[in-house]
Structure 1
Amino acid sequence: MNKDHLDALCKSQKGAFHDYQPDWQADRYHVGGKMFAMLGSDAKGKPIITLKCDPVRAEELREEYEGIIPGYYMNKTHWNSIYLDASLPNDFAESLIEHSYQLVFDKLPKKVQREIVSE
C-alpha cells in the first residue's frame, strides 16, 4: 500500500477534511468534524493507517490478516491499524477506507449528512 495513494483515497471521500497532528506526526482525515482515518507510524516508525471498523469485522480482519492489528493508540474495539507494508490488495485498502468513512458519516446528525451530500 502506497501512502500517497491512501492519502488521495481518504481526501476523495465526500466532505473529507485533512489536517496534520504534529504531536502524533500523523495525517488525519475527518468528515463532519469526526475522524475516520489516520496515517502515521507505530513506536518503531513503521508506517500504518488506522481506520474505524465495525467491531465484529475488526476482529475477523485481525485474525485473517497478519498486517492488521488493534488500533494503535486508539480504541481497540472500534479501530484497526494496518501496516502499509502488509501484503493486501489496493482495492481491499480502498474498501476499508470507505467502510471507515461510512461508519463515521452514518453517526453524524442528519442535518450535517445532508449538508455534506449537497456539497
Structure 2
Amino acid sequence: MSAAGDRLQDAARTAALALPEVSHSRPFTPQLDVYKVAGKVFLIVTDDPDEQIITVKCEPEHAHAFVHAHAAITPGRYLDKRHWITLGPGPGITKRLITDVVEDSYDLVVEGLPRRDRPSPR
C-alpha cells in the first residue's frame, strides 16, 4: 500500500528518530525539518501541506535506479541531484521503502564521518 504524504513524512520522522544520536531542527526555514547525525544532514522533511516530500542522501547508482523505477522519486530537491533523492506520495512508496531509504541515508552519512565522531553501532 502506498503511503500518503502525511504518512510518508511521519514514517520518515519515526525511522530517523529511532536511529542513534539523531538531532533535528529547522535551521533553514520553518517548513524544513532537518535531521542530522554528528552535525551532518541525512533527511529533510518538507512541512508544506501542498508539497509533502522527504529528501534523503543516496548512493548515485541507487538514486538513478530509484528515479527510474518510481514516478514519485525525483533527483534531490535543495541538494546535489546526484547524491540525494526526493520522495513524494505515489505508487510504490511504502512505509518499508521510506524506512529503508532513511536508514540507508543515515548509514551513508555515518560511514563518511571520522571514527571518533560515529555513533555507537545500532
TM score, norm. by length of structure 2: 0.85
Instruction: Tell me how far apart the structure 2 counterparts of residues 24 and 60 of structure 1 sit (CA, whole Å).
Output: 31
**Identity percentage over the alignment?**
27
**1:6 offset after TM fit, Å?**
1.8
> Structure 2: which amino acid aligns with 1:35?
V
Q: How many residues align?
A: 115
Give the root-mean-square deviation of aligned CA atoms: 2.0
Q: Secondary structure at the match of 2:102?
A: helix
Which aligned segments of 4 or more residues in structure 1 are displaced greater than 2 angstroms? 21-24
| Structure 1 residue runs without a partner (length 5+) | none
Cα shift readout 1:29-58 (whole Å, capped 9, x = no counterpart): 00011000000067x931110000000110
**Alignment partner, residue 74 of structure 2:** 69
Instruction: Tell me how far apart the structure 2 counterparts of residues 111 and 21 of structure 1 sit (CA, whole Å).
Output: 25
**Alignment partner, residue 12 of structure 1:** 18
> Residues 8-87 of structure 1 correspond to what in structure 2 (within 5 A)?
8-21=14-27, 23=29, 25-40=31-46, 45-83=50-88, 85-87=89-91
Q: Secondary structure at the match of 2:80?
A: coil
| Structure (1/2) with the larger strand percentage | 1
Q: Which has the higher contact order (CA 8 A, sep 6+)?
A: 2
**1:22 offset after TM fit, Å?**
5.2
Task: Give the 3 Å change call, closer, same or farther, for CA 101–95 of structure 1 in structure 2.
Answer: same
| Structure 2 residue runs without a partner (length 5+) | none
Question: 2:59·2:83 contact (CA, 8 Å) conserved in 1?
Answer: yes
**1:81 offset after TM fit, Å?**
0.3
TM score, norm. by length of structure 1: 0.88
Q: Secondary structure at the match of 1:72?
A: coil
